[in-house]
Amino acid sequence: MADSPLRILFLAGSARCGSTLAGRMLGELPGLVNAGELGLSLLFADAQAVTVPCGCGQPEAECPFWSAVAAGRPVRDFGLPWRTRNLLRLWRRMRRDAALRMAMAEVLVPLYRNVAAQAGAEWVVDISKNPAIGLILSELPGVELAVLHLVRDPRGVVASWRRRKAYLPKIRPIKVIRWIWFASVLSEVLARRAPLRWRFRYRDFIADPEAVLRQVAAGLHRPAPELAFLRPGAARFHTQHILFSNPDKMDGGWIPLRVPEVNLDRPARWLTNLLTWPLLARYGYFRPNR
């Protein structure tokens, strides 16, 4: 129905905040479809060069789901006129420019609607994380945005980027810390604009996914889910057509849900503590046993 709002559940946070696993869990809720980093693949300038298989393991061009959604066109081409490295500037331009908002809505809203229709879902989960993309989506007329801000211990995020991961490179701590600040502050700005919002720490999500998922389902006015894909400490997922994201998206079988340990060498730990202590305090990482 064209008149009903387009419902997007946007997962905001820093890169490596645990969004791949969280997104897969959200995608198992009835009425939700996990589209992966759809907004990022549409609007981020460097997305054009990225060649990452879909979550089903097929190249995106050969994936039947995305071929049906985009009528055989590459999905990322839909965002071509607006693609940029400075997504925050694009958001600011949209706020001033009604014609730009309408032009973007005319292309992007039907695309997201097709994702929902193709999956028979009411909510499209977009795990792009970059809150600037959430802000852009929030400006599109006809969009009802819910925001889930996923917080991960900055030391864990820095540690994660110290290692190469399949097609993802290593990144220096100082650069990662800049991202963490950007993502944290802006995710809070974004969440304030959304009528439906949650903030969860990744470790709490992983420790008790059932509680988190029930809370989200209730907030989205969905019936209480059965969550048969969960068993204590593990989850098993159906195939989800996840765009971009982390290579873990293709892992099959029972996937262990482990609360991540922070394994960071001493200099990097000191640096991260020094530069992110207000965030560590705000999100409760200084409290013992939490």
- What is the total count of residues that contact Zn ion (CB under 5 A)? 5
Listed ranges 39-47, 52-60, 105-113, 150-158: which one lies at the site for Zn ion (CB under 5 A): 52-60
Q: Where are the beta strands (DSSP E) in the chain?
A: 6-12, 32-34, 123-129, 143-151, 196-201, 230-231, 234-235, 255-256
Query: Does 249 contact Zn ion by CB under 5 A?
Result: no
Beta carbon of residue 54, minimum distance to Zn ion (angstroms, whole number): 3
Query: Could you tell me which of 27, 11, 31 has the C-alpha nearest to residue 122?
Result: 31
Among 47, 52, 56, 75, binds Zn ion (CB under 5 A): 56
Residue 136 and residue 39 in contact, taking contact as beta carbons nearer than 8 Å: yes
CB of 72: closest distance to Zn ion in angstroms? 14
Residue 203 or 241 with smaller CB distance to Zn ion:
241
Nearer to Zn ion, 54 or 115 (CB): 54
Cα–Cα distance measured from residue 55 to residue 45, given in angstroms and rounded to the nearest whole number: 22
Instruction: Decide if 239 contacts 51 (C-beta within 8 A).
Output: no
Report the nearest approach of Zn ion to the CB of residue 114 (Å): 14
- Is residue 155 within 8 Å of 272, Cβ to Cβ? yes
Phi, psi of 84 (to 5 degrees): -155, 160
Residues 62-101 that bind Zn ion (CB under 5 A): 63, 65
User: For Zn ion, which is the closer residue by CB, 56 or 105?
Assistant: 56
Residues engaged in binding Zn ion (CB under 5 A): 54, 56, 63, 65, 241
